[in-house]
Chains A and B, each alone.
Chain A
């Protein structure tokens, strides 16, 4: 079993134009920085991206957006992207917004062999337009379909050479579900360790879901909104 690849270029060598790619992260927290940069350099076009946000203008997935590589995006919040808003209003990009819980559950379902499910979220709103609705025990629910992808780019704090992954704090977010829902899941980690070095009880994503893994470099881990309190008075 050899899942380790040399670097981000090698990891995405076979990502063709027109791919559907899931990209982990919430805002800029827990995004696969190396894979996004490599994809921007490779210039892969006509992508469908599935990610909660689209980075910010000029950083993270904002790079792919600015380069015109994304033709369709599925996510839940795009408030940090003036460029995206402009592109949507000018119909240069196809945007599908889903409630965040529905979005994450659709990805979970995609990885878990569940084709669709019913959720109370969005009933009576435009999110439910043209979708099947059903009454269960007197409450109305909307049917939502699973999401799957050709590739998933995920970021973990630590991983072993078999692809067992451990995330750190709120950088976990969408990464674990995305790892399960793609044909080829590529994980970049800050620390790549030998098999057996991670306590099995602490593995968040079992290695079965991960096809390729590498240790990333030059992590910027940019903070979107730095909020601090003064030392004095604490």
Chain B
């Protein structure tokens, strides 16, 4: 897995990341680095399209994780070397990838059987909104945007742990962590953890517990950027970079 991490790191010039302003890149980097610290040896992990994919760049050394792609693959490797890309070998974001030793391929039905059957240890995905009950919305804006849910609904319903990776507020500075989602849900009460550039938040039956705050921010700073009420953890600490 160290090989993957190194190889993927060499590939930061992806159009999806380079088109973002440098400040956003930095935010995203902090989010995915923090999430990578949740990985454990032997985990089978599904990383969503976009920012979550970048978690693969920061797998801690000394552990092995296997990346699942819901289009029918276990063992996603780094992007191929120029000239070695294979149209028959893509990830769920339709990007060309390579295979690792130990890779397996299977049909979409087998893929979702392993997802629905609870065999995926961790699912990391982005969101437009998350609320204090752990409900998540990320697939459509009625009347404006029709994207489709793809595999997200199956992943949030049945992965053993669901982590949302997203920027804390919208581009306009509006909160994305709400009392109640306003958009059509991807899943109801399914999110375990929310990681943003400002905070690490655990979803509990009594509400959102703020476990970690980014360097130089206060509880009030995070609360002001959050519509839902945050509960300070008794062990509230600074988010490790």
List residues of chain A with CB under 8 Å of any chain B CB: 26-30, 52, 75-80, 84-85, 88-89, 95, 97, 99-102, 104-105, 107-108, 119-127, 157, 167-177, 204, 221-231, 233-234
Shortest C-beta distance, A188 to chain B (Å), equals 15
Q: How far does the alpha carbon of A89 sit from the alpha carbon of B85 in the complex, in Å? A: 36
B236 within 8 A of partner (CB) = no
Mask of B183-207 contacts with A, CB within 8 angstroms, 1/0 = 0111111000000000000000000
Shortest C-beta distance, A12 to chain B (Å), equals 24
Q: How far does the alpha carbon of A106 sit from the alpha carbon of B105 in the complex, in Å? A: 21
B127 within 8 A of partner (CB) = no
**B112 close to A104 (CB less than 8 A):** yes
Shortest C-beta distance, B61 to chain A (Å), equals 18
Shortest C-beta distance, B111 to chain A (Å), equals 8
Q: How far does the alpha carbon of A120 sit from the alpha carbon of B158 in the complex, in Å? A: 8
Most buried by B among A104, A126, A157: A104
Q: How far does the alpha carbon of A84 sit from the alpha carbon of B81 in the complex, in Å? A: 34
Tell me the dominant secondary structure on chain B's binding face.
loop
**B148 close to A101 (CB less than 8 A):** no
**A221 close to B87 (CB less than 8 A):** yes
Q: Which residues of B contact A97 (CB under 8 A)?
A: 146, 148-149
Shortest C-beta distance, B181 to chain A (Å), equals 10
Q: How far does the alpha carbon of A75 sit from the alpha carbon of B70 in the complex, in Å? A: 15
**A29 close to B90 (CB less than 8 A):** yes
Question: Residue on B with the closest CB to A126?
Answer: B184
B109 within 8 A of partner (CB) = yes
**A100 close to B112 (CB less than 8 A):** yes
Q: How far does the alpha carbon of A77 sit from the alpha carbon of B139 in the complex, in Å? A: 9
> A104 is contacted by which of B95, B109, B188, B189 (Cβ under 8 Å)?
B109
Q: How far does the alpha carbon of A52 sit from the alpha carbon of B14 in the complex, in Å? A: 25
Q: How far does the alpha carbon of A171 sit from the alpha carbon of B93 in the complex, in Å? A: 14
Q: Which residues of B contact A173 (CB under 8 A)?
A: 71-72, 107-108
Shortest C-beta distance, B109 to chain A (Å), equals 5
B153 within 8 A of partner (CB) = yes
Q: Which residues of A contact B111 (CB under 8 A)?
A: 101, 104
Question: Residue on A with the closest CB to B78?
Answer: A229
> B96 is contacted by which of A84, A172, A225 (Cβ under 8 Å)?
A225
Mask of B40-80 contacts with A, CB within 8 angstroms, 1/0 = 00000000000000000000000000000111110000111
Q: How far does the alpha carbon of A27 sit from the alpha carbon of B71 in the complex, in Å? A: 10
Assuming the contacts A172-B105, A230-B10, asked whether A27 and B94 have C-beta atoms less than 8 A apart, the reply is: yes
Cβ contacts A to B, 6 pairs, < 8 Å: A120-B157, A172-B106, A223-B85, A226-B95, A228-B11, A229-B10
Q: Which residues of A contact B189 (CB under 8 A)?
A: 124
Assuming the contacts A174-B108, A224-B94, asked whether A101 and B71 have C-beta atoms less than 8 A apart, the reply is: no
